[in-house]
Structure 1
Amino acid sequence: MKKALYLHFQIFALIGLLAVGSCSQKDNATEGETTPMLAKSELEDEAWHMEELYWEFVQKIDTVAYKTLWHEDFMGYPGFGDGVSDVSKIASWIPDLHKDPDLKYSYTLHKKGSNSIEDVVMVFYDTDYFWTDKENQIVRKETYKFTHTWKKVEGKWLILGGMAAMKNQGNLEIDE
């Protein structure tokens, strides 16, 4: 009788553990953990692809599509102006790249690094801007350095923050 009682106790304990495990899995599913986390390199590759898409929109002067890349609460330090900006002015610099009808704007990206921390990816790169004339001769070149912080929100990559600045084109001398 004691063995039967002990066996029943073990069965009930096992059922209880299974029930708790099942509830725990359901709780995790409701917290958004239904999709497996991508590997670090896969997250960084996806974010880099978004940077390439970003520049395709700039090249095409597609400010409507460009604006879809930004989180509504974005805050950054853009390469234009003197201060921090929110998402409201984020595309204002694009038409200026294409304002001279006699020059064609193009770019080249140089990935410098990326780092993912959980579901957030920081990307660092340089971009060469080129303006060429009708003979395809480069008449102007500028290089900027960029950093963007990307996060996947409801299945879509969005820029949370970033910074852009002209890269030093030569050595600066500092008076002492």
Structure 2
Amino acid sequence: MEWNRSNTIGLASESCCYCSGNGMRDVYEDKKTPCNCVFRAAFRACYVRFRECLISGAQPGNVSWEILGGPGGRRSYSRRHEEFIADFTLIARRNLDDEDYRLFRIYYLLGADWRLASKYFDMDRGNFWHAIYRVEQKLGRAYCEVQPYPLFPLDEYFGWAARREPVRAIHPVIERRNKLKVPFRLSA
């Protein structure tokens, strides 16, 4: 992925104190690099898609018929959701050291609560969240820069495929109550 302001400004956090929401931060006088908040946002987008793929993985019939480039017009079967799940976990395994991968596995893959995970790793709250941000930054960069097919941007990975049905949530969504509508008298 080519890193420039156009690619990073949409992912940058407005409250970031390093980039001020621009997505690029100065390293040297003439060199800029993407801010860590951009990598964390890329990781979070990939993680949301990972969860969606896990939810929709139980549904049968998710084999896609893809047209390959080239003069022959070849076609191929693929299971994009399963491939994304495998790529997501394998890239994490290859890019994280053992301690960070254990944290990733327990907090993200197994879905442990942060209180339970911080007790498991014998960390206080601050050190736990710093470790989580460090893991998100490392994996966000890896998901964006893996070659030849990066996981982020997601629309390029999935080949601009649109979903026909919305993905169902794991936990039921609590609907907000409607506001009380008070009738007003018409004044003449």
Give TM class, smaller chain: under 0.3
Q: Which has the higher contact order (CA 8 A, sep 6+)?
A: 2
Q: Point out the structure with the larger helix share.
A: 2
Q: Point out the structure with the larger strand share.
A: 1
Give the TM-score normalised by structure 2.
Answer: 0.26
